Amino acid sequence: MHGLCAVFICPLADIKARISFNIGSAIDFGFIYDEVRHLYCSDNGRVSIDPVVLFKIVLIQYTFGIRSMRQTIKEIEAKHYQEELEREIENDRENHGKKPLKPRACISEPKTKTVKKSKTDPDCGLFHKGEHNKEFAYTTHVACDKHGFVLEADVSAGNIHDSVMFDDVYKNVTEKFPEIEMVGLDSGYRTPWIMKQVFDSSRLPIIPYKRPMTKEGFFKKYDYIYDEYYDCILCPNHQVLKYSTTNREGYREYKSDPKICIDCPVRSQCTKSKNAQKVVTRHVWENYIEDAEDVRHSDKGKEIYKLRKETIERVFADAKVKHGLRYTQYRGLARLKMQVLLTFACMNLKKLANWKRKSGLLPPKPANLFYLFAFIPGLLHIFEEPHQGSCLNEVLLIST
C-alpha cells in the first residue's frame, strides 16, 4: 500500500549557510577550548576531533531541526561538496574571462513535487528496477576486500542514488584500511565528484564501461572530441564548438555556429534544435573520468575488475539467496540496518571459520548430527530422554 504526498522543495541551502555564517561571526567559540582543556591529554592517545567542531555540529543539528547526528554529518559533507564545486566553477569562469555567477535568489513561492510514499514503511523509497518495474525498497551499499570479506555496509531508501551514499562508505573504509590502493566501483558510482575523491586520496578507481545514453540515430557523446589545447569541441563534421559559459552545475557549455550547422549534411544526426545550434557540455572535473577510463584499459585495471564477479557479486548473491536479504524482514531504516550489519557479520564469521578449517587451525570435524550441538551445547539436553513423538528422528532425517 502506498499513498501520494506533496513534498515542498525550496532553496534553503543559501539561507542555512547565511544563518550559520552570521552565528559564527557573532559568537567567538574559542572559550570552549578552556572549558574542556582538562578533559584532554596533550601527550598521550590519538589526536582528537577539534572540540569546537564537535560543538558546532551539535549546534547545527538543533538550529535547523535535523533529526539525527548522522544526517547532520551528511548535510555538512554535502555542503562541503557544494562549496568545493562552486570554487571550481568560479575559478573556471575567471580563467575564461567570465563574470562570477550571481548569488542564488530566494524563490518566494516554493516549488512542489509529488512523491510516492509507502504508508506501511515511510522510510523506504520507490526503486526503479529496470525500465518498467517499480517497487518500494531499500538499497544496500557494500564494500569488500579481494577475499570477499565485507569491510563496510550502509543502507538507504530505494530512491536515493548510489553516488549519494558513496562518501560515508568510502570515508569509513579508507580510515580503517589506509593500505587500500585500488577501488573497484559499480557504474552507479561513475561521477566526476567520486572519481575526484578517489584520485585525490592517491588511489586508483576501477569503473566498468557505461553505454552512452543517446537517442537512437544520433551521434554519441564520444563522437565529439575535446581539444584540451584550444579548449574547444570538434564535431563529427570537423567543425569547432567554442566555449560559451560554465553553468551552476559545474558544466562547461560549448556551442556551435548556427550559420554553419543550418546547412550541415549530418545535422539530423546531431541536433533537432530550432536555432540549428548544437550544445555539448563537459564537467569541470571531467578529466578525472577520463583518467579512470585509462585505468580501466590498463592490464592492472582489467585484472582487478575480473575479481568483481568473485567478490562483491558473490557477497550479494549469498546475502540474497542464503541469508534472506532479498526481502526485508523489518520496517524502518534503523531496524533494517541492524539486520544487514548482523547478516554481513555472520557471513564474515562463516568465511573466517572456513579459512581456518582449510588451514588446519580448527579441531577435527564432529559428526554431522552434532554440528549444531557443538555450537549450542545446551541444545543436547533436549534429546537426552527421548519421549513419544520426539523430533530426534526429524533432526536425523534433515541432517542427512
Residues 248 and 381 in one domain: no
In a domain, 355, yes or no: no
pLDDT value of position 108:
46
Residues 10 and 89 in one domain: yes
CATH number for the domain harbouring residue 329: 3.30.420
In a domain, 356, yes or no: no
Residues 129 and 80 in one domain: no
pLDDT value of position 117:
84
**Per-residue pLDDT reduced to its tens digit, 153-170:** 999 888 888 888 888 889
In a domain, 53, yes or no: yes
In a domain, 216, yes or no: no
> Cα separations (Å) of 252 from 35, 98, 191, 272?
49, 12, 16, 21
Residues 244 and 135 in one domain: no
Residues 28 and 136 in one domain: no
In a domain, 358, yes or no: no
Domain boundary among 87, 113, 139: 113
Residues 297 and 164 in one domain: yes
Contact between residue 265 and residue 254 where contact means Cβ atoms under 8 Å apart = no
Residues 203 and 235 in one domain: no
| pTM to 2 decimal places | 0.70
pLDDT value of position 153:
92
Domain boundary among 323, 349, 375: 349
pLDDT value of position 62:
67
Instruction: State the Cα–Cα distance between residues 113 and 50, nearest whole angstrom.
Output: 39
pLDDT value of position 2:
34
Backbone angles phi, psi at 308, to 5 degrees: -60, -45
Q: Is 107 left (phi over 0), alpha (psi -120 to 50) or beta?
A: beta
Residue 373 belongs to domain spanning: 366-400
Residues 21 and 107 in one domain: yes
pLDDT value of position 209:
87
pLDDT value of position 107:
42
Instruction: State the Cα–Cα distance between residues 203 and 188, nearest whole angstrom.
Output: 19
Residues 184 and 323 in one domain: yes
pLDDT value of position 1:
34
204 closest CA partner among 301, 276, 271, 113: 301
Domain count of the chain?
Answer: 4
In a domain, 373, yes or no: yes
Q: H helices within the chain, ranges in order?
A: 13-26, 31-36, 51-63, 69-95, 162-176, 192-200, 258-261, 286-297, 299-306, 312-321, 333-358, 371-375, 392-399
The partner residues of 4 in beta bridges, in order of sequence, read: 116
Residues 24 and 82 in one domain: yes
Contact between residue 172 and residue 187 where contact means Cβ atoms under 8 Å apart = no
For the chain, what is the mean pLDDT? 79
Instruction: State the Cα–Cα distance between residues 37 and 297, nearest whole angstrom.
Output: 53
The 3-state DSSP class for residue 83 equals helix
Residues 147 and 262 in one domain: no
Q: Judging by beta carbons within 10 Å of its beta carbon (0-12, 13-18, 19+), is residue 55 exposed, middle or buried?
A: middle
In a domain, 119, yes or no: no
Domain boundary among 283, 298, 330: 283
91 closest CA partner among 233, 291, 250: 250
What residues in the chain have per-residue pLDDT under 70?
Answer: 1-26, 45-47, 61-80, 104-113, 130-132, 365-400
Quote the distance between the C-alpha of residue 296 and its chain's center.
20
In a domain, 354, yes or no: no
pLDDT value of position 388:
42
**Per-residue pLDDT reduced to its tens digit, 239-296:** 999 999 999 889 999 999 999 999 999 999 999 888 999 999 999 999 999 999 999 9
Residues 228 and 304 in one domain: no
